[in-house]
Amino acid sequence: MPLPAPQSYAPGTFQPLTFHDAVPRFRDGSDTPRAYLERCLETIAELEPQVMAFAHRNEAGAREAADASTARYKAGGALSAIDGMPIGIKDLIETRDMPTEMGSAFYKGNSPGRDSALVQALRAAGAVVLGKMVTTELGMSHPGPTRNPFDLRRTPGGSSSGSGAAIGARMLPAAVGTQVLGSVIRPASFNANWALKPTQGGINRGERQGYSQSTVGIHAGSAEDMWSVAIEIVKRVGGDPGAPGLYWTGDDLPPAFKPRRLAVLETEGWAFAEPAAKAAFEKALDALNGQGVTILRRGDHPLLETLEQRILGAMELARDVCAYESAWSVANMMAKNPDALSDSLKARFELGCSITLPEYRGRLLQREEMRLAQAALAGEVDGFIGLPACGPAPLPGDTGGSSNRIVHTTGNPIMNTASSALGCPVVTVPVMAVDGMPLGLSVTTQPHQDERAAAIGRWIADAIPPIIV
């Protein structure tokens, strides 16, 4: 059966699914969390056979949780701003009531029967944990079945494929993703999501502590829902062990913050960005400049040029660091069932085994030098702005970003690897469209300035017109 014709995306007219604006209706009794859930399930029933965003669903458990939330609102005792919110969990993260198969044949049927820290926090806040979202194999580059809801021929991005696609398809108001290279920010861009990749360690990863650059991120249809989910998790379980966690000054989304100066962060990905994506980005910069924001390019400030020079090689750094850090765990899988692993994952394993301890230490030193170069700009600019992807979601067969047998087919992550290495917060703002497909704008700030990144993103979304190329 041929795939349906793509729908044309326009950021000014697309209406994402949101939750925060339904809460007043829950309080006055004109709507209920159970009715909201049923509307989500209707959309899922219609679109999931084509989009394939879910790895598992627990509809009975979700209905039970939504009924409990409905009763709390009726009694005037909602637990939090996200009480009753249907939410998806990336299938790398453990849930007590659904399998955790991590997009891998090796883990088929794996049911640990326990909740990760962030899932415990979501349930304690009253959120309705509806399903597990498709991930690439172990969160790496080998793709799952999910399609882009705006054009089913295209990738939704990875590794948070199902999380990004479910928001773009209006199946859910929010979903949890994770990122090591670009696995939150890139799929958010491809699927017209708001997304937060927080400061390193800002949201508790629970059992997923194996990578020094891994972070939990939030996909949502609105900035308000993105922020609420993040802080309601951190209120209850904090950040990673040894990390202070996300900082915030109020329970609501921070007020829009107009930046005085923004620096363009090209990264090494600029050379790979598509001409139409660059054209859209330049239009956005012109609009910001027209609102009185000073835009600095790398030739305008020596410290910005130093940062751009330091972050060259961030893609290779991420590849090597992740391969080294995962080699021991993949070794166990190779010993038990190598046939269940993709060739791309096996190539990562071989690379990890070839990297020496001195070489790994050299990569860590390189990463610290990147971070020092960013810190030097703390008093010079209010934040950084850039492209979260080389262009809109690519068609099948695109292998941009691949290295030998380590194959990327969910979009080149090279635009994201610098911010992942820097360990700083990034917010994706869905304000651009290229060739009828979504393309986000990324706002980056210094570590622990997550709230500022969200506030700048909110201001940009309100201040500039939709950019269509």
The one-character DSSP state at 270 is G
Counting beta carbons within 10 angstroms of the beta carbon of residue 359, is it exposed (0 to 12), middle (13 to 18) or buried (19 or more)?
exposed
Instruction: Mark 170-201 as b/e (b = at least 16 C-beta within 10 Å).
Output: bbbbbbbbbbbbbbbbbbbbbbbbbbbbbbbb
The one-character DSSP state at 466 is P
**Identified catalytic residue from 80, 104, 116, 159:** 159
Query: 384, 408, 394, 398: which is closest to 439 by C-alpha?
Result: 394
Is residue 336 annotated as a catalytic residue, yes or no? no
**Could you check whether the bond before residue 159 is cis, i.e. omega within 30 degrees of 0?**
yes
DSSP 282-340: HHHHHHHHHTT-EEE-GGG-HHHHHHHHHTTTHHHHHHHHHHHHHHHHHHHHHHH-GGG
**Identified catalytic residue from 183, 222, 326, 442:** 183
Is residue 90 annotated as a catalytic residue, yes or no? yes
**Identified catalytic residue from 69, 90, 104, 161:** 90
Contacts of 234 (CB under 8 A, 6+ apart): 121, 202, 203, 204, 245, 246, 248
Number of C-beta neighbours around residue 21 at 10 A? 11
Strand partners, 90: 133
Query: 229, 172, 195: which is closest to 16 by C-alpha?
Result: 172
Counting beta carbons within 10 angstroms of the beta carbon of residue 231, is it exposed (0 to 12), middle (13 to 18) or buried (19 or more)?
buried
Phi, psi of 76 (to 5 degrees): 75, 30
Give the C-alpha separation, 128 to 107, whole Å: 25
Phi, psi of 447 (to 5 degrees): -50, 140
Q: Which two tokens stand for residue 465?
A: 């017109």
Is residue 183 annotated as a catalytic residue, yes or no? yes
Number of C-beta neighbours around residue 373 at 10 A? 19
The one-character DSSP state at 272 is G
Which H or E run includes 167? Answer: helix 161-168
Q: SS3 for 95?
A: strand
Active-site annotation, residues: 90, 159, 183
